[in-house]
């Protein structure tokens, strides 16, 4: 299982921007390939994605320098090491980089090698990635948090919240959850068309109609769920990602689509009112990353009845996450492997979540590829949730299709997390 070669080159992500594809080859002939995702709505404390900055190539977004670092520095460092010693590999790359946020070599370069090495090790052992990472206990199929309506940084409409999601919590299996989600997705398309809205899809496969308020969006979702033959809150619940850091300033939370400012207290009140009125079971980044007091207020107000997911505030960083837990921020974490840049650090975040009773939501990025590593990671970690976009665009459906295959591979031992995650019947008050 010794590494004999590492190679990287430019590939394209789902937005037509360059990203890295990395291959790791082993002495026994096994190999592993990984493609690295990229985000649009990013936290200020994410690990550094290295781009060339050469305006004459890919508008400055090329990754030739990052690829060169893989093919020289990282290759020279790791040749001869065992691919199944993930922590040693990752720590060696972190130490070689020598910066707090991996800016010298680039988190995209380091992550590509980290994931490709894990895939190569799994291939060498003849086991799927989810089993290699999770062992014999990996059996929980995640609830898909399906992003069907977009605003914020993911759309050109005046809707301030970034994502509106459906969660098939009442399904009996992951396969049934996918069916239910797809049926609501098509129902929503019909409802939007009848209302005169465009139904083109955005980066993550969701619709971006010309809506102004969260209430408008949620009403469309409620109608679509019912028209598809499901019960809102029992069969299918709702989730929000306001991505509040995107519209927060020292003056408060600016709702441009509604021309109003809210204080932190008013933002908490607003979210609480939405939870009261709709079967919302999950809110991601309801408060800004630089508003810890607001996060604490939100957690105290809604933490016993709603999943409060920290993304920008935690950045999949073990130290930031541990600090947030100690401050009483949220009760769940969004896990994005490229926010931190190695598989080892990602797994440490999952262990912290398990120790403190936080839920873990494995997540894609808006700039995705056909790589399905996050599907395997979601099952390996038994976290119970995955965010990987809507029910369209092959970069999103590839993850769902991979999870369908994993469920078949596990067979009768597969457990769908939906009824376990939200056991009570969920209805608006």
Q: How far apart are CA 43 and CA 336, in angstroms?
A: 11
Annotation marks residue 102 as catalytic: no
Q: How far apart are CA 77 and CA 375, in angstroms?
A: 29
The string over 291-301, giving b where at least 16 C-beta atoms fall within 10 Å of a residue's C-beta and e elsewhere, is bbebbbbbbeb
The number of CA neighbours under 13 Å toward the Cβ of 33 is: 9
Instruction: Provide the annotated binding site for Mg(2+).
Output: 241, 284, 311
Q: How far apart are CA 421 and CA 384, in angstroms?
A: 7
Instruction: Provide the annotated binding site for (2R)-2-phosphoglycerate.
Output: 162, 336, 365-366, 387
User: Token digits for 308?
Assistant: 């409060």
User: Token digits for 196?
Assistant: 């005169």
CB atoms within 10 A of CB 425: 11
SS3 31: strand
Catalytic residue among 163, 183, 289, 336: 336
CB atoms within 10 A of CB 3: 23
Helices marked H in 252-332: 264-277, 292-302, 318-327
Beta-strand relationship, 3-12 and 18-26 = antiparallel
Q: How far apart are CA 248 and CA 240, in angstroms?
A: 17
**N-to-C CA span, the chain:** 57
Q: How far apart are CA 403 and CA 418, in angstroms?
A: 15
Measured N-to-C along each axis, helices 107-125 and 86-97 cross at an angle, to the nearest 10 degrees, of: 160
SS3 379: helix
Q: Which residues of 86-228 form beta strands (DSSP E)?
A: 140-141, 143-144, 146-150, 163-167
Annotation marks residue 336 as catalytic: yes
Instruction: Provide the annotated binding site.
Output: 162, 241, 284, 311, 336, 365-366, 387
Catalytic residue among 204, 348, 368, 407: 204
Backbone angles phi, psi at 159, to 5 degrees: -75, 125
Q: How far apart are CA 101 and CA 58, in angstroms?
A: 24
Q: With contact defined as beta carbons under 8 Å apart, do 164 and 146 qualify?
A: no
List, by residue number, the catalytic residues.
Answer: 204, 336
């Amino acid at each position: 299982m010794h590494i004999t070669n590492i190679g990287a080159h430019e590939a394209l992500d789902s937005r037509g921007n360059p990203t890295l594809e990395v291959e790791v080859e082993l002495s026994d002939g096994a190999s592993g390939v990984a493609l690295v995702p990229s985000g649009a709505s990013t936290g200020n404390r994410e690990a550094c994605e290295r781009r060339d900055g050469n305006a004459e190539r890919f508008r400055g977004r090329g990754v030739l320098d990052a690829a060169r670092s893989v093919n020289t520095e990282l290759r020279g460092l790791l040749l001869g090491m065992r691919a199944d010693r993930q922590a040693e590999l990752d720590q060696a790359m972190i130490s070689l980089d020598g910066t707090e946020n991996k800016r010298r070599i680039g988190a995209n370069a380091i992550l590509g090698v980290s994931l490709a090495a894990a895939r190569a090790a799994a291939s060498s052992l003849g086991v799927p990635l989810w089993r290699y990472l999770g062992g014999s206990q990996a059996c929980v199929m995640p609830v898909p948090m399906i992003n069907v309506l977009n605003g914020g940084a993911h759309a050109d409409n005046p809707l301030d919240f970034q994502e509106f999601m459906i969660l098939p919590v009442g399904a009996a299996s992951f396969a049934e959850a996918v069916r239910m989600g797809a049926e609501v997705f098509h129902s929503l398309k019909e409802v939007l068309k009848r209302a005169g809205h465009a139904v083109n899809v955005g980066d993550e496969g969701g619709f971006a109609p010309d809506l102004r308020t969260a209430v408008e969006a949620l009403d469309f979702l409620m109608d679509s769920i019912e028209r598809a033959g499901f019960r809102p809150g029992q069969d299918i619940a709702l989730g929000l990602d306001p991505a509040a850091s995107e519209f927060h300033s020292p003056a408060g939370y600016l709702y441009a689509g509604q021309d109003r400012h809210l204080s932190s207290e008013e933002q908490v009140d607003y979210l609480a009112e939405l939870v009261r009125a709709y079967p919302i079971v999950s809110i991601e980044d309801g408060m800004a990353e630089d508003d810890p007091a607001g996060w604490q207020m939100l957690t105290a107000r809604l933490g016993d009845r709603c999943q409060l997911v920290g993304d920008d505030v935690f950045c999949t960083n073990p130290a930031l996450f541990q600090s947030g837990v100690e401050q009483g921020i949220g009760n769940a974490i969004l896990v994005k492997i490229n926010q931190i840049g190695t598989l080892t650090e990602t797994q440490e975040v999952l262990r912290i979540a398990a120790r403190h009773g936080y839920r873990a939501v494995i997540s894609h990025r808006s700039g995705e590829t056909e790589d399905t590593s996050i599907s395997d990671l979601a099952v390996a970690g038994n976290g119970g949730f995955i965010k990987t976009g809507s029910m369209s665009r092959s970069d999103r459906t590839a993850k769902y299709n991979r999870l369908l295959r994993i469920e078949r591979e596990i067979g009768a031992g597969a457990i769908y997390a939906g009824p376990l995650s939200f056991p009570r019947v969920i209805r608006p008050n």
